[in-house]
Amino acid sequence: MQLPRALTSRDLPEAELRAAALDGEVFRHGAAWCAIDEHDGPALRIRSLAPAAPPGAVAELRTAAWVWEARASPPARLEFCLPGGVRAKSSRSAPVLLRQSELGPADRVDTGGGAVTAPLRTALDLVRVLDRFEPVDATAVAALLALAGADAEVLRGALRARRNLPFRERALARLDAVAAASGRAAVGSPGQPAETRYTS
């Protein structure tokens, strides 16, 4: 029997997975375990989130930035959004954060392993939604924009084009930090952040 690329306790006992990690055969990745020789990238990362994703949920914010390799590691609590009309609650003790969000067809990417907000939508959400916008977030937004073939001015235009958008002014103010991050060599090329994947 061939095992999935992203393993959970449904595939092998947790103790066996942890022992395999100690032996250097697998590593913790998102909400799953992956073989050490698996090629890391968006497809594997979104698949590794599947065990934690509520039905119909789409990975977003810092979690989506990690999927797109704009961050070295996922956030401590994975973030998902639910399309309008789908109701769910997240508990304070749950490992995931959920929120309602309207997503158009261009705002999401669906794969066989799950769904994630598209790079440009992820960048827009990061500058607009986060309560605290850290330098690492500005760097992630810059990398997402490069991946989307866009820049801070494109994002500025997208923010201004949307009517009645909450936190628009806060997002516009944060674009100065994004523009500065775009100019730093530490951003690197899209999909190749300076930090190593083994920090996840």
Based on the fold, state whether residues 92 and 136 are members of the same structural domain.
no
Residue 126 lies inside a defined structural domain of this protein: yes
Pairing mode, strands 114-117 and 108-111: antiparallel
Nearest-angstrom CA–CA distance, 107 and 47: 19
Based on the fold, state whether residues 90 and 155 are members of the same structural domain.
no
Residue 25 lies inside a defined structural domain of this protein: no
Which letter does DSSP use for residue 41 in this model? S
Based on the fold, state whether residues 61 and 88 are members of the same structural domain.
yes
> Which tokens sit at 91?
């508990």
Q: What number of H helices and E strands is found in the chain?
A: 7, 8
Of 97, 117, 137, the position where a domain reaches its end is 117
Residue 26 lies inside a defined structural domain of this protein: no
Total number of domains in the chain: 2
| Structural domain span for residue 104 | 40-117
Give me the helix-helix angle, 135-147 and 119-129, nearest 10°: 160
Based on the fold, state whether residues 112 and 44 are members of the same structural domain.
yes
Of 66, 100, 117, the position where a domain reaches its end is 117
Based on the fold, state whether residues 141 and 112 are members of the same structural domain.
no
Residue 30 lies inside a defined structural domain of this protein: no
Quote the pLDDT of residue 135. Answer: 93
Q: Does the pTM of the predicted model rise above 0.85?
A: no
Quote the pLDDT of residue 67. Answer: 96
Residue 22 lies inside a defined structural domain of this protein: no
Residue 160 lies inside a defined structural domain of this protein: yes
Quote the pLDDT of residue 29. Answer: 78
Residue 151 lies inside a defined structural domain of this protein: yes
> Residue-wise pLDDT tens for the chain (200 aa)?
455 677 777 777 778 878 887 887 877 777 778 778 777 889 889 988 988 888 889 999 999 999 999 999 999 899 999 987 656 555 444 578 999 998 999 999 998 789 999 999 999 999 999 999 999 999 999 999 999 999 999 999 988 888 788 899 999 999 988 888 777 533 344 444 433 333 33
Based on the fold, state whether residues 59 and 84 are members of the same structural domain.
yes
Of 91, 117, 143, the position where a domain reaches its end is 117
